[in-house]
Amino acid sequence: MSTVADVVALLEQFAPTTLAEDWDNVGLVVGDGASEVHRVMTCLTLTEDVADEAIEEKAELVVTHHPLPFRPLKQLTTATPEGRVLWKLIGAGISIYSPHTALDSAAEGINHQLAQGLNLVEVEPLVPADPTQPEAELGSGRCGAVLEPTDLARLAANTCKLLSIDHVRVVGDERQSVARVAVACGSGGSFLDLAIDAGADALVTGEASFHTLLAARSAGVAMVLTGHYASERFALEHLANWLSEQPLNVACWASRKECDPLRLAKR
């Protein structure tokens, strides 16, 4: 028999909560560590339809990348979407765990997986968790060299293939040469200056502000924008597979109802 605490212990070996940003809310945010666990569902974000899936599929634990709750709550009622999700899951006895920025920065975490999937070598964090050991691969973002110099068009195509998406948005000339690539999952535009300092020719991230895009263009640094969802969701699928392989005797799957809220509309 496995408990919530058993699953949490493994998750915190994989993505230590000490790696999380100070503003974050990681760890077991709802639940009882002593509760039995037979079924675990992972997801990027806990929405009402994803919560309904967890209940329908009889999960006892949901591992959600984005924390819920994220900020302190003054009331917990069904008057808000967040309140309805929490009320449902608590009523069903389902615990909630979030690794969030700890998983972003872990040695085998999301940014590592992005760098690995793009075949980068000599990879180091953009912000090392321990500045005296940048080679330890613990920290925020990643930057590394491509195996062979390429261009922005090929980098964009490789990113689409890695994330199983059919399009990305780019800043820069598609023929622009790319030898070093920085990656930062999610809302990673704030890593632009760090990517420039690391000598990156391109930054692959989920999303960035308009002014960040202008700054990148002015600096001659290409950007590949995958969308927030695509830049992180794949790693929650990997995490479900990883948990299934651990000696926990639990069934684990990534939410089948979860989807990107953004859709392309053609005129």
Instruction: Give residue-wise pLDDT tens across range 37-73.
Output: 999 999 999 999 999 999 999 999 999 999 999 988 8
Range of the domain at 9: 2-100
Q: Do 179 and 212 sit in the same domain of this protein?
A: yes
Considering the domain architecture, whether residues 215 and 133 belong to the same structural domain is answered as: yes
Q: Annotated binding site for a divalent metal cation, which residues?
A: 65-66, 104, 228, 232
Name the binding residues: 65-66, 104, 228, 232
Q: How confident is the model at residue 199 (pLDDT cuts 50, 70, 90)?
A: very high
Give yes or no: residues 34 and 139 share one domain: no
What's residue 13's pLDDT?
A: 95
The letter for the amino acid at 3 is: T
Residues 93, 60 within the same domain = yes
- Reading the block at residue 224, the tokens are 């590949």
**Same domain, yes or no: 92 and 127:** no
> 267 falls in which pLDDT band (50, 70, 90)?
confident
Q: CB-based contacts of 16: which residues, under 8 Å, 6+ apart?
A: 102, 106
Residues 111 and 96 both lie in one domain: no
Q: What is the CATH number of the domain that holds 117?
A: 3.40.1390.30
* Number of domains composing the chain: 2
Question: CA-CA distance, 169 to 141, in Å (whole number)?
Answer: 20
180 and 127 together in one domain: yes
Q: Are residues 126 and 187 in the same domain?
A: yes
